[in-house]
Structure 1
């Protein structure tokens, strides 16, 4: 899995961005332990690997959700084998990384077009089509991206609360609005759909 922070090079507080990214990566790794610790490389790119596609998709979703709205991030996720080139440095190569690179390049290209400007996730199966069905996963990701791309800052926070398992009443108290107002946003913005789609994507092998 390769993540790329959107517009981070022009951020006024790059140290603050890095601190927030590190906090989120540590929190998500506690919930969904990766195969290896996250690596943040030059250009504000992050790299992670998971044994299951569903875990990688969920980790990427949580990272994006918890960095929003201050920091935006795109993800490319690839399926395949990994070769450790150097056990001391942890340098890796192999089809999984090649496919992840192809995926991040694809999602970046999509985001340049008005019709797919909300694209944030892309999945590529193995070089010979190995792994979960690419078109099916991609269809779900594109639709979820479109829903999330239209959310206001408050709706994104409410979505984060729902994903964390908080009740609408608890969320309303935090947002200082009525429970009815939360329910209206959930229905209007399709937040329950996003939660359900993400839960289903997590079950992908």
Structure 2
């Protein structure tokens, strides 16, 4: 069993320069993978504004997608549908295609994100759906992870671009002193920004989820 991820661009039709935005997305994904190589298949454009990626486990997927969220600049964002389930190759004259319950679950998940955005959760960006047949442990893990994701997306959505950069740095293990040097501010200012943005809760919550993920 693997983790299938679908991503699409929030407000893609409203972007003034779609080509430039795609370059930013491609560069962001590449940097995140260079910093922590977690994907077995990094997010790759397919058609329109959609991308597909594959991860070994739920913890890796959630970490990688958070890195991408934090790394993106203001005005460009992804929404993510995470599917837990089997994926399999389907032969074609154009080469193997990827299909299976994991992708169907990811599609359901991203549709859930769309629906939540349009109602009471405009900052919602990520959801997980398990394909039929998950065991009780995975069902519980998905439920707990989704509760975390609701809070996580609210925190990330409220952050400034600098706060996201600082949170990204801490997530990959950069010291506060090094972050201060990169931003041209003092270490106490870094600490204050991280604290007010809730970055520690974001990172500690992810660590707790990863400790219990399959």
Fold shared by both chains (TM-score > 0.5): yes
1:123 to 2:128 alignment: yes
What TM-score do you get using the length of structure 1 for normalisation? 0.89
The CA deviation string for residues 133-157 of structure 1, in whole angstroms up to 9 with x for no partner, is 2211111111111211211222112
Residue 180 of structure 1 is matched in structure 2 by 188
1:39 to 2:47 alignment: no
Residue 197 of structure 2 is matched in structure 1 by 189
Higher relative strand content = 2
Preserved CA contact (<8 Å) 2:70 2:164: yes
Residue 27 of structure 1 is matched in structure 2 by 31
1:15 to 2:19 alignment: yes
Residue 152 of structure 2 is matched in structure 1 by 144
Where do 5+ consecutive residues of structure 1 fail to align?
A: none
Q: Which moved more, 1:30-39 or 1:195-204?
A: 30-39
Count of aligned pairs between the two proteins: 204
Note the C-alpha offset of 1:118. 1.3
- Taking a change above 3 Å as real, the CA distance of residues 155 and 33 of structure 1, as seen in their structure-2 partners, is closer
What TM-score do you get using the length of structure 2 for normalisation? 0.86
Where do 5+ consecutive residues of structure 2 fail to align?
A: none
Q: Which moved more, 1:191-200 or 1:75-84?
A: 191-200
Could you tell me how far apart the structure 2 residues matched to 1:157 and 1:48 are? Answer: 23
CA RMSD of aligned residues (A): 2.0
Note the C-alpha offset of 1:17. 1.3
1:72 to 2:77 alignment: yes
1:103 to 2:104 alignment: no
Could you tell me how far apart the structure 2 residues matched to 1:148 and 1:82 are? Answer: 30
1:168 to 2:176 alignment: yes
Could you tell me how far apart the structure 2 residues matched to 1:180 and 1:153 are? Answer: 18
